[in-house]
Structure 1
Amino acid sequence: MSRIIAALQRHAASDPRKVALQDETRSLSYGELLPEIDALAQQLQASNPRVLGILADNGTAWALADLAAHAAGIPTIPLPLFFSAAQLAHVIRTAGIDQVLTDQPERLAALQHPELPVEPFYGALQWVHLQTHADDAAPLPHGTQKVTFTSGTTGEPKGVCLAREAMETVAESLGYASEARRDDRHLCLLPLATLLENVGGLYAPLLAGATVCLPLLAAVGLSGSSGLDVGRLLAALGEWQASSAIMVPQMLQAVVAAGQAGAPLPRSLRYLAVGGAPVSLRLLENARALGLPVFEGYGLSECGSVVALNRPGAQRAGSVGKPLPHVHIDFADDGEIRVRGLTWLGYLGEPSAPATDGIATGDLGHLDADGFLFLTGRKKNLFITAFGRNVAPEWVEGELVAHAGIAQAAIFGEARPFNCAVIVPYPGTPAGAIDAALAQANRQLPDYAQVQRWISAAEPFTPGNGLSTANGRLRRTAILGRYAAQIDALYQS
């Protein structure tokens, strides 16, 4: 039996009135939750979808749809709301999705036919039956419970196939590492279609018997793939009395800036996880100085989301924490991190089975004597200067964005005599302030990693313009291509 379903049974027996799921319009206790899941699971089994898609805003309906499919053993694909029409069509076709639970049926009708069969499912969710051809779909690896699509904001997204056991193992380890408890109120700030929030923000709290708060994304200040209203975010944390939450670095940066400007910060938080992209040490220090209980972590979709996490009583500045209890980490000869202890099922549509000797992460790093994991950059991003020095750009960029005025930075220097940066300043920041920030950051860096010259970006690096992924990782090749002429001019002058 699913560990999540077994936990729900225990919580229903021990504390049936405790609120399990809550959004703006409804709440479900643990005593009410299982009957709802069972009824919806029976509906899904009767309809017998090959693959079920979920395309909807956050809410109890999304959570119930996911949990019902989980209980019924029906392969599920969360569809990010920010996917373009072409990307949705690609995922539906490649995965052979034949049924979708959605609060936006018009988007699916626009892809296929204006009169697609639609029927009610639960709350605002509609049940849409698609016209798909199973013969055209990639076969799902045996045991696939969920396919999560990584980044994929330009081009065709890539699907990672995961088994139920893998996701539940990660969720259980996360509960242990974060000291999740029954009186927690976890506020979902990221889309539930994001694996990190799905596993860490839904499954882990339910295993612990906590309350999961699921307001609409707009209510917590999110819009599109990267829009953020920090005022709404802070208000939501206070209104929902959140004790735990998950943020990506850009969200934490905005919260810290607001706190430094005098905005009141929530005091109910006991655990604020930060991940999805590299986090500046200075940003974490600034957050802690404001009283925010921030804990950096690290993971990837192929590992079921989180691999390592700082935790109460076991955190180290500059590290991404200790590996979760089920994880073993070792390193390739070039320093690439390899993760063992979790079996994943491969990429959708790729016939080759995943390696059995561990997952090659593409990240470079090391463990210290006490078992804390430190990241030094991406293997594919490492560049070598004209003087033969290796530079991991993420390290330098982390130093830059920790300074006031610099919102984003991309560092380049392959085969060059010095490094340069494409910088996105915060609105209204004068060039002199950026120069001062660079000088201050350079004092913290060795000479070969320092940034000597910079240009101002014409616009932020976002998923919408193809210059970053959905979780904030820079698309370096795209940025370099966009600013190639200006970068070349820095070296000619």
Structure 2
Amino acid sequence: MSDRRERFLDRLAAHAERAPEATALWDGTQRLSYGELAAAIDARRARLAAVGATRVGLALDNGVEWALWDLALLTDSCVAVPVPAFFGDAQRSHLVERAGLDAWIGPGGEALGFGTPDPGGVATRPVPAPLALHPGTTRITFTSGTSDAPKGVCLDTETVLAVAISLAEVVAPADIERHLAMLPLATLLENLGGLYLPLWLGAGVALPGAAELGWQGASGFDAGAALAAIERYRPHSLILMPQQLQALVERALAAGWPVAEGYGLSECASVVCLNRPGEVEVSGATMLGYLGEPPVAGWHATGDLGRWEGNALVLEGRRREVFITAYGRNVDPQWVEGVLATRPGIAQALVHGEALAHNRALIVPAAANLPDAAIEAEIAAANTTLPDYARVSEWRRCAPFTPHNDQLTANGRLRREAILAAYRDWLTRPGANVTTTDASRPTYRVRPITTTEE
């Protein structure tokens, strides 16, 4: 047993002895106390052992069951492979074959070659010659990255718990007693920051399903439903993607939420730094390697650009995402997109200006019925904070960028090549189609697009 896994399990036992009636896990239907936690985990360990499961796909919705199965896998050093709900059939099939899964927990297993689940809910299949894993691998998190086929990031328990424990040390002064998991538990960040971290602290974890949290498939987010969940569970902590926080920003400001910004990537067990010193090249708690590729050691190049301001790491975009305007100016599109996304009426934006006299933006409005004039006003307001070469002069509405349409990665980054391919004719068309009344207030020529995408 690894040192940190032993320490983690010892902490759970200590919480059970100190406060056996305290809530550990709750999903709105099922509630489990710390005193009941060990027996519930042991029951699932027995089910896994009975069928000889060693590499297990976990495809459940958020809930107490997801957490219990995950903790059972962690306790026995089985290989856990969380399955993102937004993965399509081809991606799921790739995940199953690449990871050599011999067991599946959740719906959809029969279509992937697994048998009928046993009474304990575990479906199995024979795997004669599974791909060898990096020594020590106990978790494979699949990240879409920039390629079509998801890549499997191999992690060990020591690394995952090292990150969770270090985060617990950072947030300890906040005296968190209840965490609400707002992201899918298949997301490594929520898995370690929203399950292991609060359990380490002895806090309760609220685990409602995706629909109750406001998730609408892979492409929508209902802020009203999310607020209702927050009202119901009344958490002391949340982990939010930028798009979620933007949708909830008025409530957050009114309630005085303390928001701490984090930075990380799956290859480094999801979190590198949390409003604390960090590095763009990272060593220490990093992955063992990509599934099926040579092991890695030493520093990991993240591909992110940054600079130090005193003891703070300031990120400045991706290494290869800078474009050069027709006037020879270098522009980081993420910088401009970040400014646009701070406007309440703009949910997402992609900015392009390679070899163009004026920058163009694809805009996803915060509400489908938002008038063009309101979007223009939001862009104009954003432009006042930007230098002239970085301002947006032309824009179009577009459908949301989502993992479902392959225009957003699992951790919320734009897949620029895919978006550029979808809108290439407009984004790259030469010439300018804007008249300027003064240096800071361009007149927009709006070009709405019709889309049938949900």
In the superposition, the TM-score normalised over structure 2's length comes to 0.89
Would you say 1:112 and 2:105 are equivalent positions?
A: no
User: What is the aligned counterpart of 1:216 among 209, 216, 219?
Assistant: 209
Partner residue in 2 for 1:130: 125
Please list the CA deviations of residues 265-312 of structure 1 after superposition, one character each: whole Å capped at 9, or x if unmatched.
4xxxxxxxxxxxxxxxxxxxxx43552222211110111111111xxx
2:14 aligns to what SS in structure 1? Answer: helix
| Worse-superposed segment, 217-226 or 170-179 | 217-226
Cα drift, residue 180 of structure 1: 6.6
Does structure 2 retain, via aligned residues, the 8 Å contact 1:186–1:211? yes
Unmatched tracts of structure 2, length 5 or more = 434-454
Say what the alpha-carbon RMSD is for the aligned residues.
2.0
Would you say 1:473 and 2:438 are equivalent positions?
A: no
User: What is the aligned counterpart of 2:392 among 436, 451, 455?
Assistant: 451
Partner residue in 1 for 2:347: 407
Cα drift, residue 130 of structure 1: 2.3
Within a 5 Å distance, the mapping from 1:18-167 to structure 2 comes to 18-102=22-106, 104=107, 107-112=108-113, 116-121=115-120, 126-131=121-126, 133-135=127-129, 137-151=130-144, 155-167=148-160
Task: Give the share of equivalent positions with the same residue, in percent.
Answer: 47
User: What is the aligned counterpart of 2:328 among 388, 395, 401?
Assistant: 388
Does structure 2 retain, via aligned residues, the 8 Å contact 1:190–1:197? yes
User: What is the aligned counterpart of 2:371 among 397, 412, 430?
Assistant: 430
Closer, same or farther: CA 180–224 of 1 in aligned 2, 3 Å: farther
Does structure 2 retain, via aligned residues, the 8 Å contact 1:148–1:160? yes
Closer, same or farther: CA 117–403 of 1 in aligned 2, 3 Å: closer
Closer, same or farther: CA 196–165 of 1 in aligned 2, 3 Å: same
One-letter amino acid matched to 1:109: E
Partner residue in 2 for 1:360: 301
Structure 1 CA distance, aligned partners of 2:46 and 2:295?
Answer: 32
1:341 aligns to what SS in structure 2? Answer: coil
Structure 1 CA distance, aligned partners of 2:146 and 2:299?
Answer: 27
Does structure 2 retain, via aligned residues, the 8 Å contact 1:288–1:294? no
Would you say 1:463 and 2:403 are equivalent positions?
A: yes
Structure 2 CA distance, aligned partners of 1:153 and 1:252?
Answer: 25
Does structure 2 retain, via aligned residues, the 8 Å contact 1:154–1:466? no
Does structure 2 retain, via aligned residues, the 8 Å contact 1:376–1:392? yes
Would you say 1:8 and 2:12 are equivalent positions?
A: yes
Closer, same or farther: CA 389–357 of 1 in aligned 2, 3 Å: farther
2:290 aligns to what SS in structure 1? Answer: coil
Does structure 1 retain, via aligned residues, the 8 Å contact 2:194–2:205? yes
Cα drift, residue 465 of structure 1: 2.0
Cα drift, residue 483 of structure 1: 1.5
| Worse-superposed segment, 34-43 or 291-300 | 34-43
Partner residue in 2 for 1:172: 165
Please list the CA deviations of residues 8-67 of structure 1 after superposition, one character each: whole Å capped at 9, or x if unmatched.
111122222211111222222112111222332233234332311111011111101000
One-letter amino acid matched to 2:232: E
| Worse-superposed segment, 181-190 or 155-164 | 181-190
Closer, same or farther: CA 200–149 of 1 in aligned 2, 3 Å: same
2:263 aligns to what SS in structure 1? Answer: strand
Moved over 3 A (4+): 151-154, 180-183, 287-290
One-letter amino acid matched to 1:306: V
Closer, same or farther: CA 15–183 of 1 in aligned 2, 3 Å: farther
Does structure 1 retain, via aligned residues, the 8 Å contact 2:87–2:404? no
Partner residue in 2 for 1:338: 281
Closer, same or farther: CA 188–449 of 1 in aligned 2, 3 Å: same
In the superposition, the TM-score normalised over structure 1's length comes to 0.82
Partner residue in 2 for 1:226: 219
